[in-house]
Structure 1
Amino acid sequence: MTDVVLPCLNEAPALPWLLSRLPPGYRAIVADNGSTDGSADVARAHGARVVSISQPGYGAAVHAGLMAADPADGVVCVLDADGSFDPADLPRLTGPVHAGEAELVVGRRRPVTRGAWPVHARVGNAVLSHRLRRTTGLPVHDIGPIRAARRSDLLALGLRDRRFGYPLELLIAAGRAGWRVIEIDVAYHPRAAGTRSKVSGSLRGTVRAIHDMRAVLAR
């Protein structure tokens, strides 16, 4: 069984479709980060395990989800809970890890519509990705909001960021550890109606995320 960690903050409208799309053999862990829209109840009603996290932040939610995952040395996936990714793509990411071809597989967002990924968010991501390639040599063009790796490997990295810098810290740590990292194109859809991205949904959110990521780079 492959656990899928879904960091969640007010994503109730997206969860029914998202959870219904999990492939056989994949199990959802919704890491609820203080939702006030009933996300936790919706997730439970659709068969997901729910872990409540009091500490705010994307990294805090992901870390709590990893801690709740099966402690066996299995592969764990992480993806956003807003419906922008199709869980049916997950086997394409887990395959190379299971086959021993990579320690980490990340998805490179390919927007299916112009509005799926706002320009301000795309530019910020491109700048950070360029710096990441230059400093680590990793062949990545996206700061991996959908990814797969072994749980034990992820925890062994000792990641400290509990905010939006977490995905970038993961990639930097993976590069330093000599991990084989593969990037795979994945379709990026407009998020479900009634949800709003905490990063790309507003210029303020994007600036906040870039600030967190710059703090990671400074370390």
Structure 2
Amino acid sequence: MKVVAIIPALNEEAAIAGVVQELRSGVLDEIIVVDNGSTDRTAEVALAAGAHVVHQPERGYGAACIAGVDAAPDASAFVFLDGDATEVTSDLAQMIAAVLDGRAQFALGTRSGKSAPGANPWQQRLGNKLLTILLNRLTGAHLADLPSLKVVDGPTLRALNVRDRRYGWTAELLTRAAMRKCTFLEFPRGLKQRKGRSKVTGSLLRNLRVGYAIAATIIRVWRSERAHPASFEP
């Protein structure tokens, strides 16, 4: 079984080496850093740290995730995480095992544990809570978070065919999975202090725009899945 980590990264020169090196001590078969059009040395630093670097000049979290998955089409499981060093990965081996042994198709690292000061600001917590409530109300799921850290069964991910190329990628993934009655396990964790400048949380207006786009994605996918019901078919 092949387990591959996908790390979308945009101008994460200060953090990416530490993220890659931390993952190299685990149970992963490959670490793919998707350089999403960085203007700094993110790609060079990631390569030196031992990652396989894929270049996706089209900006967008979804575009980067899709490029990473396309680079490892035969993976048994995918680990997705951010490249800013905020992720707590101490239970990653348990998350991967839950997917590989069939207990769940998704293992989610929920941000419900204790975080470092300033790592999970109030506007981010509130926005995430509201978006999670929206997804749960529409789909009947009982998720606690729409997290960046997640382990996904490879055949499940390929069958869901998530195509959002911007911030709605995770929302489309989890909404579509919930509508198709995929199985989830959640692993509570906190967040570490990020290295470098946030692309989203540094601005309230930016948070509102991203939140609106994610909410629109959840509603769009819910309507699509309700109009054309489909079970999980890997």
| Fold in common (TM above 0.5) | yes
Q: Scaled by the length of structure 1, what TM-score is found?
A: 0.93
Letter in structure 1 aligned against 2:181? G
- Do 1:104 and 1:149's aligned partners in 2 also have CA atoms closer than 8 Å? yes
- Do 2:80 and 2:151's aligned partners in 1 also have CA atoms closer than 8 Å? yes
- Do 1:169 and 1:216's aligned partners in 2 also have CA atoms closer than 8 Å? yes
Q: Scaled by the length of structure 2, what TM-score is found?
A: 0.87
Letter in structure 2 aligned against 1:213? I
Shift of 1:73: 4.6
Give the match for residue 208 of structure 1. Answer: 209
Letter in structure 2 aligned against 1:91? A
Match of 1:113 among 96, 116, 121: 116
Question: Are residues 1:7 and 2:18 paired?
Answer: no
Shift of 1:86: 3.2
Give the match for residue 60 of structure 1. Answer: 63
Question: Are residues 1:171 and 2:135 paired?
Answer: no
Quote the RMSD (CA, aligned, Å). Answer: 1.5
Give the match for residue 182 of structure 1. Answer: 185
Unaligned runs of 5+ in 1: none
Q: Distance in 1 between matches of 2:71 and 2:64?
A: 11
Letter in structure 1 aligned against 2:16? L
- Do 1:7 and 1:32's aligned partners in 2 also have CA atoms closer than 8 Å? yes
Which stretch shifts more, 83-92 or 138-147? Answer: 83-92
- Do 2:61 and 2:165's aligned partners in 1 also have CA atoms closer than 8 Å? yes
Residue pairs, 1:121-140, within 5 angstroms: 121-140=124-143
Q: Distance in 2 between matches of 1:203 and 1:111?
A: 23
CA spacing shift, 1:203–1:59, aligned 2, 3 Å: same
- Do 2:4 and 2:31's aligned partners in 1 also have CA atoms closer than 8 Å? yes
Match of 1:142 among 138, 145, 150: 145
Q: Distance in 2 between matches of 1:112 and 1:215?
A: 28
- Do 1:118 and 1:201's aligned partners in 2 also have CA atoms closer than 8 Å? no
Residues 35-58 of structure 1, C-alpha deviation per residue, up to 9 Å, x if partnerless? 111100000001100111122100
Give the match for residue 27 of structure 2. Answer: 25
Structure 1 runs of 4+ off > 6 angstroms? none
Residues 59-97 of structure 1, C-alpha deviation per residue, up to 9 Å, x if partnerless? 10011111112x335111000000001344321221210
Shift of 1:187: 2.5
Unaligned runs of 5+ in 2: 221-234
The structure whose residues are more often strand, as a share, is 1
Equivalent residue of 1:159, what SS? coil
- Do 1:33 and 1:52's aligned partners in 2 also have CA atoms closer than 8 Å? yes
> How many residues are paired up?
216
Q: Distance in 2 between matches of 1:52 and 1:205?
A: 25
Q: Distance in 1 between matches of 2:189 and 2:58?
A: 30
